[in-house]
Structures are given as C-alpha cells and as structure tokens.
Amino acid sequence: MGRTGELFSYQRAGVVPDVMPLAKALGGGFPVGAVLATSEAAKGMTPGTHGSTFGGNPLAMSAVNATLDVMLAPGFFDHVKKMGILFKQRLAEIKDRYPELVAEVRGEGLLVGLRAVVPAGNLVNAIRAENMLTVAAGDNVVRLLPPLIVSEPEIAEGVARLDRALAKLSRSAKGSGARPLRKAETAG
C-alpha cells in the first residue's frame, strides 16, 4: 500500500483486481488482514466460508483508520512519488559507478530492488555492515524499501551508506580475484 505512489499498485497497472488481500501496510505495522473483493467475486464468500486471523479486531481497526488517515492526507502520495523518483535517480548513479556489482535498478516508487552482478547475499552483508537493513529477493536482487515518509536527507544518507558498502565490496572483489557472475547466472 502506497509504495508505488498510489494507494494500491494496481492503480498504476491499468487493471482492477477481482480480489485483493491486504495485510502489513494496512495496519502501519500492527497485525491486521483484510480482503477486498468485487460484488461478483464476493458472492462465493458466504458466512462461514471465509475467515480471518486478524480481521475485525477493534484495536486493529483503529490502527487501520490511523494508517489511512496518514496515507490519504493531501500530498502524501505526491511525497512518495517525489522521493521515489529521487531515490531511483540516486540509485542509477550508484549503478553507473559500480557496474561490476549492480546490473539494474528496478521497481517503482519506494518499492525498489537492485539486481546484483555478485550474489545478493554478498551485497546484503556489505549493506548491513554499513548499518542499513535490507534483504535479498531471490538469488540476485536486493530489496531497498525506505519508509513512505522518508526525507531527502535520509535518502542521501542511505545512498551514502550503499555507496560505502559497494566501494568496500568492489575493493574486496578486486583484491580476491573473484569473478562476477556470468550473464546466465544473473538473469531474473
């Protein structure tokens, strides 16, 4: 929710889903789950055929309302879009500086991944050594998911940490004689 600069990413894709599950972002970190469905799709969800572990909880619903109050405030998604563009521009500079480590910047808004030339785990470890949290997505992509309220100085700090991580990884790879992955190993 919100990561692409729209409330739901389908809004950028030009399709309307029949059924859409929601969870993590809906509660702003509080455990909650929901399912949105068209009237037609919901016909099959008669009483007793659909349940939810986190649905209907009054505290969870309060968290959902508070989250939506923030996300639906005027200018919120404009900020996400602006920060997403800035972030991808800065990451493109990083990719150009370290082509032996980063093959591609992918994603939209603040839902971004770096397709790594080296094993993603190596890049994740280097980034974590710079006190920045990230995870691998498959064998060769590293996810970068700043908060939707990220500021320009925070993006600059994150990119600086990423730059330091890549510089160290680059020096280490050059010093060890390690070879980058072949194209077939990085496809994906």
Q: What domains does the chain contain, in order, with CATH numbers?
A: 10-71 (no CATH), 76-186 (3.90.1150.10)
Q: With cut-offs at 50, 70 and 90, classify the pLDDT of residue 55.
A: low
Per-residue pLDDT, 46: 83
| Residue environment code for 135-171, b if the CB has 16+ CB neighbours within 10 A, otherwise e | ebbeebbbbbebebebeeeebeebbebbbebbeebbe
127 neighbors 118 (Cβ within 8 angstroms):
no
Residue 60 makes CB contacts below 8 A (sequence gap 6+) with 27, 30, 31, 32, 54
- The per-residue pLDDT for range 113-125, each reduced to its tens digit, is 999 999 999 999 9
- The per-residue pLDDT for range 7-46, each reduced to its tens digit, is 999 998 889 999 999 888 999 989 888 889 999 999 988 8
Residue 20 has what DSSP assignment? E
User: Percentage of residues in the chain with pLDDT exceeding 90?
Assistant: 71
Q: What is the rounded CA–CA span in Å between residue 42 and residue 174?
A: 57
Residue 144 has pLDDT above 50, yes or no: yes
Q: What is the rounded CA–CA span in Å between residue 55 and residue 103?
A: 41
Q: With cut-offs at 50, 70 and 90, classify the pLDDT of residue 94.
A: very high
Q: What is the rounded CA–CA span in Å between residue 18 and residue 1?
A: 17
Per-residue pLDDT, 164: 97
Q: What is the rounded CA–CA span in Å between residue 78 and residue 32?
A: 26
83 neighbors 150 (Cβ within 8 angstroms):
yes
Q: What is the rounded CA–CA span in Å between residue 59 and residue 152?
A: 33
